[in-house]
Structure 1
């Protein structure tokens, strides 16, 4: 009589969550850098505040609070109703936060381009203004504001482009 083997039981494989390659191999997900996480929370906060402002203006359009919100926080032209502006803003901030939280590499590249292009545009306009020799030169506060704006935009572009771990956190392809 052949020897009997013991009873074999089913042992489930450990469940892994997160991204995987086309073959099904588990890939460890890199953490989102801290400043990006803070930026996502800022976008969520701005989306929530825009929604609160829109609801306030929509539910009580003649109140003093609605008038204050519409005059002080609505940056768009007055041809568009303030309520619609805040609904659109809430949607756009929420969409942007979702794209950043889902680690969409396109969002990273768009912000890098926009911040770099804004800095270059400001510098070109400043150089053209200096070359023409306008009769009203910039005050010391305006020059400082210009320098800070250009510096901040270049810092954002550089951070998104070169910060360690940024490329791993926002991969363009899931199989890399």
Structure 2
């Protein structure tokens, strides 16, 4: 008796479907990607605000508060740069490229190490407590802990390497 074509599923296709069902994307991965897209949108709006109405009070406040991350670069260009950067990271994160996992792991670990070295230098200096007060040390310690959490999550969480596929 001839087999009905609707009932036939090749074994290779069946394995692909079962592999897709087994691979679950952790919520933190998806949340970080959407955070990157939201941050990109906010930076883009800030760039438009500073570019279209540079003399308004809101634009001056935004440029003075958030626009001094890169020295000698105008706030508008800086916001466009960070908007593109966060959109790119979010896009790569959503496609689950393995290189972005290593990039974010490195950046969060390096950022935490840099802050720890600066805190150690402050502790070892003769002016301990005058440069960084107790509130600043607590805030920096929380930032270090958060960045190390991100780094260790991406490095050691079970199954995280399977979520990020290797591309040729």
Q: Give the TM-score taking structure 2 as reference length.
A: 0.77
Give the whole-Å Cα distance in 2 for the aligned partners of 1:105 and 1:71.
36
Residues 53/117 of structure 1: CA separation in 2 closer, same or farther (3 Å cut): closer
Residues 13/52 of structure 1: CA separation in 2 closer, same or farther (3 Å cut): farther
Residues 146/84 of structure 1: CA separation in 2 closer, same or farther (3 Å cut): closer
Alignment match of 1:46 (pick from 39, 44, 51): 39
More deviation, 140-149/72-81: 72-81
Q: Give the TM-score taking structure 1 as reference length.
A: 0.74
Structure 1: 5+ residue stretches without partners: none
Give the whole-Å Cα distance in 2 for the aligned partners of 1:59 and 1:129.
42
Alignment match of 2:150 (pick from 149, 156, 164): 156
Q: Are positions 1:134 and 2:133 aligned together?
A: no
Query: How much has 1:96 moved relative to structure 2?
Result: 0.6
Residues 135/56 of structure 1: CA separation in 2 closer, same or farther (3 Å cut): closer
Determine which structure has greater relative contact order: mean sequence separation of CA pairs < 8 Å that are 6+ residues apart, divided by chain length: 1
Residues 87/14 of structure 1: CA separation in 2 closer, same or farther (3 Å cut): farther
Q: Are positions 1:33 and 2:26 aligned together?
A: yes
Larger radius of gyration: 1
Residues 70/124 of structure 1: CA separation in 2 closer, same or farther (3 Å cut): closer
Residues 12/68 of structure 1: CA separation in 2 closer, same or farther (3 Å cut): farther
CA RMSD of aligned residues (A): 3.1
Q: Deviations over 1:40-71 (max 9, x none)?
A: 11111111111122222333333333223222
Alignment match of 1:103 (pick from 96, 108, 112): 96
Residues 160/144 of structure 1: CA separation in 2 closer, same or farther (3 Å cut): same
Structure 2: 5+ residue stretches without partners: none
Checking the alignment, whether the CA contact within 8 Å between 1:54 and 1:82 is kept in structure 2 is: yes
Query: How much has 1:12 moved relative to structure 2?
Result: 8.7
Alignment match of 1:66 (pick from 59, 65, 76): 59
Q: Deviations over 1:88-145 (max 9, x none)?
A: 11111100100100101111111112222222333333334434x4224243212212
Query: How much has 1:31 moved relative to structure 2?
Result: 2.4
Aligned length: 162
